[in-house]
């Protein structure tokens, strides 16, 4: 163990502790910095921490360009901290890994495609029926409420009121809690899932509402793997890949379409949709409004109707 590695590992931990004391969860960033320390140890590198060393570390990890840019940004801010203790630390060039701001458009499932996906969720992992039951309920919940997948994964049993049908969403993207009422059919499904879950895991390992096949909280990776398997089984992987987050987009679009069919004042109702989705401003909800052919057609018909009335 070199003196540089020992110093670097200690400063990594003190930096993580500092960031968390300021209110940041700092999980992915901490993993990146600890991976840097392991890289230095494995490659038998000596100090100081240089731009070349940082670039070699970032390039040693496979992944998308934006992922590399994010990791480099974490290292850049850490280097500013490390330079206080080791003046030889080089400042990293913020332009070394430019991030792409292109956001892939969401895939809005039709009613038939969503039905196929739900059927596939019930059929995955026949050797682990608990996994199929959990995935069916979680995917159904995301589709029927527009929750972020992380919000669903973080739900504890105490957050799900199986009497009144209200979800207590904590630690949202905007650091605010909110209450989300669910439809009666969703509540019935939640109650059924809870009964089956408790039969399968009478002594759960933690307080999570959604449990993996091992009886502990389902992880983000676990959801991604199970969701991908269900998409493949449903035949939804031929064109654009489907993400759990696309169900949130679908919820917003179908809610707006329903309001148009009801001839409701959509503009006046947008703040309600924003509150339900957990947005700080209803203008943020516009990001989720994808102009599907059906939605654009209904909006055009209403515009023409209003124009004809005048």
Share of the chain above pLDDT 90, in %: 60
User: Prior bond to 248 cis, omega within 30?
Assistant: no
**Catalytic residue list contains 191:** no
Say if residue 310's pLDDT is above 60.
no
**6 belongs to the catalytic site:** no
Q: Is 196 left (phi over 0), alpha (psi -120 to 50) or beta?
A: alpha
Set 71, 72, 107, 148: catalytic member? 148
Mean pLDDT of 82-111: 86
Residue 221 has pLDDT above 70, yes or no: yes
* pLDDT > 70 fraction of the chain, expressed in percent and rounded: 87
Model confidence at 295: pLDDT above 70: no
- What pLDDT is recorded for position 268? 81
Alpha-carbon torsion, ordered 284, 288, 292, 295, to 10 deg: -60
pLDDT at residue 43 in the model: 94
- Greatest alpha-carbon pair distance for the chain in Å reads 81
Q: Write down the pLDDT at residue 103.
A: 64
In tens, the pLDDT along 110-169 reads 999 999 999 999 999 888 899 999 999 999 999 999 999 999 999 999 999 999 999 999
Is residue 173 among the annotated active site residues? yes
DSSP state for residue 171 in the 8-state scheme: S
Q: What tens digit of pLDDT does each residue of 238-294 get?
A: 667 899 999 998 998 888 888 878 887 877 888 888 888 887 765 666 665 654 445
Between 78-87, 142-151, 167-176, the lowest mean confidence (pLDDT) is in: 167-176
Is the pLDDT at 216 greater than 70, yes or no? yes
Of 245, 260, 282, 302, the catalytic one is: 245
Of 207, 215, 220, residue with least CA distance to 168: 207
Tokens encoding 241: 């890949």
Query: Residue 102 is encoded by which pair of tokens?
Result: 């292109």
DSSP one-letter code for 284: G
pLDDT of residue 296: 44
In this prediction, residues 158-187 reach a mean pLDDT of 90
- Dist. CA 37–CA 204, nearest whole Å: 35
Out of 88, 173, 240, 261, the active site residue is 173
248, 249, 250, 255: the active-site residue: 248
Single pTM value for the model: 0.67
**Residue 279: active-site member:** yes
Distance, CA of 134 to CA of 138 (rounded, Å): 6
Predicted pLDDT at 184: 95
How far is 276 from 203, CA to CA, in rounded Å? 33
Contact between residue 295 and residue 256 where contact means Cβ atoms under 8 Å apart: yes
User: Is-catalytic flag, 249?
Assistant: no
Query: Of 11, 72, 197, 279, which residue is the catalytic one?
Result: 279
* Of 172, 186, 146, the residue nearest 289 (C-alpha): 146
Give the Cα separation of 226 and 131 in Å (integer): 8
Which of 54, 53, 72, 50 is CA-nearest to residue 63? Answer: 72
DSSP state of 282: G
Q: Are strands 160-161 and 166-169 parallel, antiparallel or unpaired?
A: antiparallel
Structure tokens given for 276 = 């339900």
**Does the annotation mark 44 as catalytic?**
no
CB contact burial 106-124 (16+ within 10 A = b; e otherwise): bbbbeeebbebbbebbeeb
**How far is Cα 156 from Cα 208, in angstroms, rounded to an integer?**
4
At 307 the pLDDT is 52
Which of 85-99, 188-202, 266-280 is the most confident on average?
188-202
pLDDT at 299: 45
pLDDT at 262: 82
């Amino acid at each position: 163990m070199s003196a540089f590695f020992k110093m670097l590992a200690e400063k990594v931990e003190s930096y993580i502790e500092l960031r968390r004391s300021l209110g940041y969860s700092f999980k992915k960033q901490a993993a990146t910095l600890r991976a840097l320390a392991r890289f230095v140890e494995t490659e038998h590198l000596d100090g100081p921490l240089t731009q070349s060393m940082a670039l070699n570390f970032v390039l040693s990890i496979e992944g998308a360009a934006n992922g590399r840019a994010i990791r480099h940004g974490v290292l850049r801010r850490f280097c500013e901290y490390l330079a206080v203790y080791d003046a030889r630390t080089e400042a990293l060039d913020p332009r070394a890994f430019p991030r792409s701001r292109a956001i892939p458009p969401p895939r809005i499932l039709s009613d038939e495609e969503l039905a196929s996906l739900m059927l596939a969720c019930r059929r995955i992992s026949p050797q682990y029926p608990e996994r199929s039951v959990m995935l069916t309920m979680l995917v159904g919940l995301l589709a029927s409420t527009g929750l972020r997948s992380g919000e669903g994964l973080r739900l504890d049993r105490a957050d799900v009121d199986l009497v009144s049908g209200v979800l207590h969403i904590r630690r949202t993207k905007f650091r605010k809690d909110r209450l989300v009422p669910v439809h009666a059919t969703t509540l019935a499904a939640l109650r059924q899932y809870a009964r089956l879950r408790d039969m399968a895991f009478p002594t759960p390992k933690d307080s999570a509402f959604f449990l993996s096949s091992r009886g502990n909280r389902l992880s983000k990776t676990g959801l991604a793997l199970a969701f991908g398997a269900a998409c493949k089984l449903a035949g939804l992987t031929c064109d654009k890949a489907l993400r759990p987050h696309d169900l949130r987009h679908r919820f917003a679009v179908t809610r707006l379409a329903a309001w148009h069919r009801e001839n409701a004042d959509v503009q006046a109702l947008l703040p309600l949709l924003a509150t339900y989705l957990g947005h700080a401003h209803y203008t943020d909800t516009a990001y989720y409004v994808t102009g599907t052919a059906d939605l654009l057609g209904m909006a055009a018909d209403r515009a023409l109707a209003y124009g004809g009335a005048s």
